[in-house]
Structures are given as C-alpha cells and as structure tokens.
Amino acid sequence: MNIFILSVSENIYSTKRIYDEAVKRGHEVSIINHMRCSIKLSGGKRQIIYEGEDIIDEPDVIIPRIGASATRHGAAVVKEFEMNGVYSTSRSLGITRAQNKVRTLQIMNRKGIPIPDTVFSVNPENIEEQIELLGGAPVIIKLQEGTQGMGVMLAESKKSAKSIIDTCYRMNMSILLQEFIKESNSEDIRVFVAGDKVITSMRRKGLEDDFRSNIHRGGTGFKEEISDAEKSMAIRAANYLGLPVAGVDLIRSKRGPLLIEVNSTPGLQGIEAYTKVNVAERMIKFLEKKCSTKSSRTRK
C-alpha cells in the first residue's frame, strides 16, 4: 500500500510509530503536513496541492492525525481524499463530530449509548437551574472543544459552580455540564478500537489531588481487561461517529459503563507503554485487510 500519514510533524511519537511499523511491513509511507496542503476546485475536478504537486491520486489509504487547532482545514483535506475514493482511518465527518463534545454526546444519547447526565446552555440567567438539573454540586464543567484534560473543571460547591459557569459565559466560552460520578474514583478506561475489534485497553488514574485521569495531566496507566459490554459500547460509539480507528473513553459507574468522549486521533505513547501492545502494528494490519495495494512513489 501507499500510505499517507497526515501530521504536522514527523517527530510526534504516534506519527513516528505508525510510520516505522508501516515501513517495517513493506509499505510506501509519506508524512504529509495537512496544514501545508492547498485544495483546488475547478471545473468539477479536485486537486490537493502539496509542495507544488497534486497528490490526490497517490495514496491507497490516509491516516489522519488531526489536532484540535487544525480540525477545520484538516477535515477538509480528508474530505477531498475521501471523495477521490481513498480509504481513511477517520472520516472527515467523524473528525469534526468527535472534536465537538456536544455533538458526540447528542449522537451517543440518540443511539442509546449510556452517558453521564449532561446539560448545555448559553443562558447566563438560569445557571442555578442548570446545576439543579444535574442534582446539584459537585458538577463537572467542560469546554466543548478541550483536549487531553484541559478545559475540564470540577466545581465542588454550588457557589464555585456558579462562579465558573458565569465566567465562562462572560468570556463567550462554549461549555457543558455533567454529573460528577464519584465512584469512578478519578479513573477512566481508554479503549483503542480498529474496525469491529478492540486492539487493547488501559485504565487511567489521575493524580491524588486531581480528578482528571489524563496521562498528559500527570496520570498513570494500567493494562485493563474490559467486559463484553464495554467492548461493544466502544466499537459502536466509534462506528456511529464514522471513525474506523478511534480512542473511546469510558468511566465505570453504579449504573454501568458510561461514555465520556471519543477521540479521532488517539495517542499511542501512553497506551503502548502501559499495555505493552504494539498498537501501531495492529493499525497497519487492520488497514492491510481493508485496502488493496497499488504502486506509487513515496514522498517524505
């Protein structure tokens, strides 16, 4: 296969791991900075221009590694490849859906996947009502487009919740409120999905004084066996969003597993380190089953 990894840097851990494993398995691999791609539409034809050349016909498959700051343009580049018949590990619509927490939760709720009780509003006049809709404090306050635990706050009292929410509204920040699941014990489960299978999963635990469990915020990870119900939930969530490869985050509650987030560009560093599973290789093997090969030159 000729594989394009869409990434802003070849030095990012996940990008390098995917590149190395794909090359090791005999594929032609190019790292393409999607932020340096120009899209040209003319006369019913489409082009993706990179370093002065049209590359739209080159890859068999693309692996988007689109960060939050580049969602709009990155998804547009992915869409052009898709419309040209190129297989993608993340559909363009899936990338934009996953980046928007509210949209993700709306889809999950409609599809019957359990989520924490959630409230979102833009009305600064009924903050107290919003808090009471979740049973009162403590509540979780999240920026709708935060990543890696940033923009996630715990308000332990009604007073602090009202202060944080009011500040966010005044700063024109889009937020959502969620119930605080005390029994989750500052832990969540990251499930790495490829197609209709779970590659591996890990439990993440936050620092002693931090309710967030993200590895990037100083948390730690452990390989974790998950139930069939949790596997099914993760696979269905990724499928509903249009993400053949995804990182799905769950928490365990008294009423069973709850979905909290789906990541279209899941990092490999933490999950490979803590589970000892070669996730990058598993991704490439998944693609080998999905895609036919064709000869094309390599671009670096």
Token pair 């980046």 is at which residue? Answer: 99
Q: Where in the chain is the domain with CATH 3.30.470.20?
A: 97-114+183-282
Q: Output phi, psi for 66, to 5 deg.
A: -100, 115
Determine the average pLDDT of the residues in 174-182: 93
**DSSP alpha helix (H) spans, the chain:** 13-24, 71-83, 92-99, 101-110, 127-132, 158-170, 228-241, 269-275, 279-290
The token pair at 46 is 């489409």
How is residue 121 annotated by DSSP?
-
Q: Is the pLDDT of residue 284 over 50?
A: yes
Share of the chain above pLDDT 90, in %: 80
When mean pLDDT is compared across 139-148, 219-228, 238-247, the lowest value belongs to: 139-148
Instruction: Give the model's pLDDT for residue 205.
Output: 87
Average pLDDT, rounded, for the chain: 91
CATH classification of 118-180, choosing from 2.60.40.60, 3.30.1490.20, 3.40.1440.10, 3.40.1280.10?
A: 3.30.1490.20
CB 176 within 8 A of CB 108: no
Q: Is the pLDDT of residue 146 over 80?
A: no
Q: Is the pLDDT of residue 121 over 50?
A: yes
Q: Where in the chain is the domain with CATH 3.40.50.20?
A: 2-90
pLDDT in tens, 12-36: 999 999 999 999 999 999 999 999 9
Q: Output phi, psi for 40, to 5 deg.
A: -120, 125
CATH topology of domain 2-90: Rossmann fold (3.40.50)
Q: Where in the chain is the domain with CATH 3.30.1490.20?
A: 118-180
Determine the average pLDDT of the residues in 247-252: 96
**Cα dist. 4→16, 28, 209 in Å?**
12, 9, 41
Distance of CA 222 to the CA centre of its chain: 20
Predicted structure pTM score = 0.89
Determine the average pLDDT of the residues in 210-221: 60
Q: Residues 182, 246, 117, 158: what is their CA dihedral angle, to the nearest 10 degrees?
A: 60
CATH (residue range 97-114+183-282): 3.30.470.20
